[in-house]
Amino acid sequence: MGFEICQALEKSGFKVIAVVGPCEAPFEKLKKTKVFQVETVQEMHKAVMRGCKEFSPQFAVFSAAVLDFSPGKKESGKVSSKNSWNLKLFPTPKIIDDVNKRFPQIKKVAFKLEWKSPSMKAARAFAMKNMQDKSAEALVLNYLSDIKGKSHPAFLFTRDGSCVRAYSKKAIAHWISCFIQSSE
């Protein structure tokens, strides 16, 4: 998804900063995109903050599926399989929330992946609340139960309550690019 968004933004003439976790997408082929490679939630957080500070973007698109929880204790080396484990997970910081606090002038496009699609009325209410909570200008809302193969349906909401339906990553990326372009 991130690669499609970068590609669409480049085609619209934007310079792009991408914070990218491990993936096979060919980010190195993009000409107007500066890429920060990361592996952990902490590295992603640090790279996003650095990108916001150094480049002062007008928009930030939060499309990454960042871990919601991480283990409280990390072990190094091989751990014996003879022992049982009690695992305690802690919430990870929400990067979009920290961008809101430190860089409130940056406009945001948020993503939200949920499990199963509710009624359209419920989806709209959820999207409007989420955009308000995250100070986002737009929200890409999709449901894991609807994603199959190359089919990647999503509802694309804006703060004014409008909603468009897209059915592929490329269509979502194109909509984001057009939305940002029209918001300048």
Q: Along the 184 residues of the chain, how does pLDDT read in single tens digits?
A: 999 999 999 999 999 999 999 999 999 999 999 999 999 999 999 999 999 999 999 999 999 988 889 888 877 888 888 888 888 999 998 999 999 999 999 999 999 999 988 889 999 999 999 999 999 999 999 999 899 988 999 999 999 999 999 999 999 999 999 999 999 7
Using left for φ > 0, alpha for ψ between -120 and 50, and beta otherwise, residue 161 falls in left
For strands 16-20 and 33-37, give the pairing.
Answer: parallel
The Cα diameter of the chain in Å comes to: 59
pTM of whole model > 0.85?
A: yes
List the domains of the chain with CATH numbers: 2-69+96-183 (3.40.50.10300)
Sheet holding 59-62, edge to edge: 59-62, 107-114, 138-143, 154-158, 163-166
